[in-house]
Amino acid sequence: MGVLRLGYGSEFHLLRYLGNHRGVLNRAIQTLMPDVKRIEWLDFPFAPKAEHGDREFKGVEFLPEDDPVRKAWSNFWPAGHAWGKGNPPNWDAVGHTLGRVLSWSSRLSPPDIHRKTSALSDVENQRLNE
């Protein structure tokens, strides 16, 4: 988590919507992805030594240890990868719904949304880029 300032930055606004306007955020996502009926947002991991006491999820650590996506991820994003430099992306929010994992980094536009089982369909990608 970066330095949060009241009213400043995309991370602040995303956290504001998760905390105070979750229904509005969910409906906006469901407009882009009509087959999504329910989104469950994951709580951040605790990090007692961090300034805010929390930390962002990294890579795919939010998935169960035995999930096959973890192995696929390690092949895709190996430690020391030239453009990844071994540091996986940090997610400002992670939610899931019926076989999908939705991961947001509020620093990116449009948001990165990853399916647990496959890439987004062309139609869904087009909706996100409109």
Given a cut of 80, is residue 32 above it in pLDDT?
A: yes
Whether residue 4 is contained in a domain is answered as no
Whether residue 5 is contained in a domain is answered as no
The half-sphere exposure of 89 on its side-chain side, counting CA atoms within 13 A, is: 17
Who wins on pLDDT, 83 or 108? Answer: 83
Given a cut of 90, is residue 42 above it in pLDDT?
A: yes
Whether residue 3 is contained in a domain is answered as no
Contacts with 29 (C-beta within 8 Å, 6 or more apart), sequence order = 36, 39, 102
Whether residue 2 is contained in a domain is answered as no
Domain count, the chain: 1
Whether residue 121 is contained in a domain is answered as yes
What confidence score (pLDDT) does residue 85 get? 59
What confidence score (pLDDT) does residue 119 get? 40
State residue 35 phi and psi, 5-degree precision: -75, -10
Who wins on pLDDT, 80 or 90? Answer: 90
pTM over the 0.85 mark: no
Whether residue 81 is contained in a domain is answered as yes
Whether residue 1 is contained in a domain is answered as no
Whether residue 123 is contained in a domain is answered as yes
| Domain around 52 | 10-129
Given a cut of 70, is residue 74 above it in pLDDT?
A: yes
Residue bearing tokens 């509020």: 106
**Cα distances (angstroms) measured from residue 79 to each of 48, 55, 76, 84:** 26, 21, 10, 8
